[in-house]
Amino acid sequence: MTRYIIPTIMVIVLLFVLFLMCVEWTTSTVTVKVTDLQSQQLFSGHKDNLSTKIRYLVITDQETFVIKNNYLMFKFNNSDIFYHLKKDSTYSLKVSGIGKTLLSDYRNILKINK
């Protein structure tokens, strides 16, 4: 009985990783009007070893999106996308993800079209 525990755990972990990859590969295009843009600083560590990450949020008339790098899709231009967006403008966004999950609150913007 105990010899099946480790293989079972490995299969569960593998299925979970595959699920997360599929969620990130799920893309769609939405047309939204930007109502607000927020740049958040996230601090972690201790006073001698403090690190800062920037999180870009795009609030629209339909939902809130995040702009983050996506290593699975070779997207590394999160700040470029954020600073090209203008408040009260309408865009067609290519987004990935499914919204609220265990690892993410918002869908990720991959590309913008005016």
Categorize the per-residue pLDDT at 97 as very low, low, confident or very high, splitting at 50, 70 and 90. confident
One of 3.30.930.10, 2.40.50.140, 2.40.50.660, 1.10.10.60 is the CATH number of 2-113, namely 2.40.50.660
For residues 63 and 54, what is the distance between their CA atoms, to the nearest angstrom? 20
Q: What is the chain's length?
A: 114
The domains of the chain are located at 2-113
Tens of pLDDT, residue by residue over 54-65, are 999 999 999 999
Mean pLDDT along residues 108-114:
89
Give pTM, 2 decimals: 0.75
Does 22 have pLDDT greater than 80? no
Q: State the average pLDDT over residues 42-52.
A: 87
